[in-house]
Amino acid sequence: MFKKSFKYYKSRKPPPNLTQVLDFLKSEDLLCDNKIKKVPLRMTNLDPFFGLKPLDTWEVYEIVAMPGLLFVKNPFTNLGQRYWTVRCLRDYTKRPNKSNLDPFNKPEDTKNWWDICQNGNKLLLDKMRWVTLGYHHNWDTKVYTENNRGQFPTDLKHMTEFLAKVLGFEQFSAQAAIVNFYHLNSTLSGHTDHSERNLNAPLFSLSFGQKAIFLIGGQQLEDQAIPLFLHSGDILVMSKDSRLNYHGVPKILQGDVSEWSSPESESVPNEYDDVVKVCKDNSAWKPFGDYLKHSRINVNVRQVLFDGEIQLSEEINVF
């Protein structure tokens, strides 16, 4: 019963009882109760993307009642969490990527939302709700088209494709992403993600900042729904039988701060210096850390095309 559960967990008065929410910080209990099972990692000869913990420390689980729904317990280093936070807030929000604030800015206006906010316009900070990358999600028609496609960021592509390989999705190609920005009173109502031409490819969902209650049901609204906590750094993968399931975010809860506390020293390729120096300098990092104290960032990465396809088919040419 997706709608009923959603309403229950969204409620403020009275607040929901959270004892049924799967919490992977207590993964030993969930394993004992047969709610989750361990998933082995695949070996890959790809170099790991920086900002990820060593593979032999990763914990990956499948939710027993939701075959194909995989959970990776925060595999990011603190530096990795800081890196993706800076990229999402400072860089991915720039044109030509699309955002909910585009209608309020002239295309020739090159000023960046993050910089405007830092230069005093704090009211604007909570107005950014989503950004789309690569094939732009069309919120009205829900249809991806070739002429509504931007460059997909290469760092996000490399990191998610590395993740996909390690989880056994050898062919995954990152082609579209939605970055969602949530505040403490935000929700994302129940929906299915079915706009992609290829509905067999998995969907990767990364979380940074405050924790969320994520609710996932079955392919029918009547099916039983399962609530779980997503903490900063956690990754959820909707694949196989769970790829088309109803899901949503009924609540954001405040509490997490430590996950991005102090960045470790880690070797990072030079090409990322520009971002990494912000992550390592505590005063440059401060506004990003402050944002995360009352917000959650979700990066939702999808493959649109079938394996081997390079674009959506063109209109039929009339000679």
Binding residues for Fe cation: 191, 193, 247
Three-state SS for 26-67 is HHHHHHHCCCEEECCCCCCCCCCCCCECCHHHCEEEEECCCC
Question: x-or-dash pattern for ligand OGA, window 159-198, by CB under 6 A?
Answer: -------------------x-x-------x----x-----
Counting contacts by CB under 6 A, is residue 214 touching ligand OGA? yes
Nearer to Mn ion, 209 or 248 (CB): 248
- Identified binder of ligand OGA from the candidate list 247, 252, 285, 291, rule CB under 6 A: 247
Out of Mn ion, ligand OGA, none, what residue 173 binds, judged by CB under 5 to 8 A for its kind, is none
The total of other beta-carbon atoms located within 10 Å of residue 160's CB is: 25
234 binds ligand OGA (CB under 6 A): no
Restricted to residues 276-315, the positions that interact with ligand OGA (CB under 6 A) are 298, 300
Could you tell me the strand order of the sheet in which 211-216 lies? 188-191, 247-253, 211-216, 226-230
Three-class DSSP category at 76: strand
List the one residue from 125, 156, 249, 279 that touches ligand OGA (CB under 6 A). 249
Q: CB 163 → ligand OGA: shortest distance, Å?
A: 16
Interface characters, 81-110, with ligand OGA (x: CB under 6 A): ------------------------------
| Runs of H (alpha helix) within the chain | 2-10, 27-32, 78-86, 113-118, 154-166, 273-280, 282-292
Closest-CB residue for Mn ion?
A: 193
Question: For tokens 């990229």, what's the residue?
Answer: 87
Between 37 and 142, name the residue whose CB sits nearer to Mn ion. Answer: 142
- Dihedral, CA of residue 69, residue 74, residue 80 and residue 85, to nearest 10: 70
Is the Cβ of residue 27 or residue 195 nearer to Mn ion in the bound state? 195
- Closest separation in Å from C-beta 194 to ligand OGA: 11
Please report where in the chains the tokens 């590395």 appear, as a residue.
162
**For ligand OGA, which is the closer residue by CB, 142 or 277?**
142
The smaller minimum CB distance to Mn ion, of residues 78 and 300, is found at: 300
DSSP string of 158-180? Answer: HHHHHHHHHTT-TT----EEEEE
Q: Rule CB under 5 A: which residues touch Mn ion?
A: 193
Q: What gap in Å lies between CA 245 and CA 217, rounded to an integer? A: 6
Q: Which residues bind ligand OGA (CB under 6 A)?
A: 178, 180, 188, 193, 205, 212, 214, 230, 247, 249, 298, 300
